[in-house]
Structures are given as structure tokens and as C-alpha cells.
């Protein structure tokens, strides 16, 4: 749906992570990776990278 609307979409799976794992950024390396990936996506989307 979003692609059809012209909105950029990126999906990344983080195997072994549970629902809400991103809130454990201080404890899980997977959460740290997800935050870094989301930040990089937003920087690209807003042209600040």
C-alpha cells in the first residue's frame, strides 16, 4: 500500500528478537542495530545523510 502511494519503504528483520526489542537498546545488540538502521533511514529520507 505505501509503495503504491509513493512512500519509500524499507523492511529489515532482526532474527531472534522479541516484540518491543528496540526498547532494550541498552541491553541487546540487536536493538542497537535496529536504532542505527532506523536513524540511517530517516537521515536518508530527510536528506541529512
**pTM for the predicted model, two decimal places:** 0.75
Answer whether residue 4 is part of any domain. no
Answer whether residue 33 is part of any domain. yes
pLDDT at 8: 77
Domain limits at 33? 19-49
Answer whether residue 41 is part of any domain. yes
Answer whether residue 43 is part of any domain. yes
Answer whether residue 25 is part of any domain. yes
Smallest CA-to-CA distance from 35 within 16, 15, 18, 12 is with 12
Establish how many alpha carbons lie within 13 A of residue 38's alpha carbon, considering only the half-sphere containing its beta carbon: 10
Number of domains forming the structure of the chain: 1
The tens digit of pLDDT for each residue in 1-49 reads 566 777 778 889 999 999 999 999 989 999 999 999 999 999 988 887 5
Answer whether residue 5 is part of any domain. no
Amino acid at each position: 500500500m505505501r509503495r503504491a502511494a509513493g512512500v519509500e519503504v524499507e523492511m529489515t528483520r532482526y532474527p531472534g528478537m522479541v516484540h518491543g526489542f528496540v526498547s532494550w537498546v541498552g541491553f541487546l545488540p540487536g536493538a542497537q542495530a535496529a536504532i542505527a538502521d532506523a536513524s540511517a533511514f530517516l537521515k536518508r529520507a530527510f536528506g541529512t545523510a
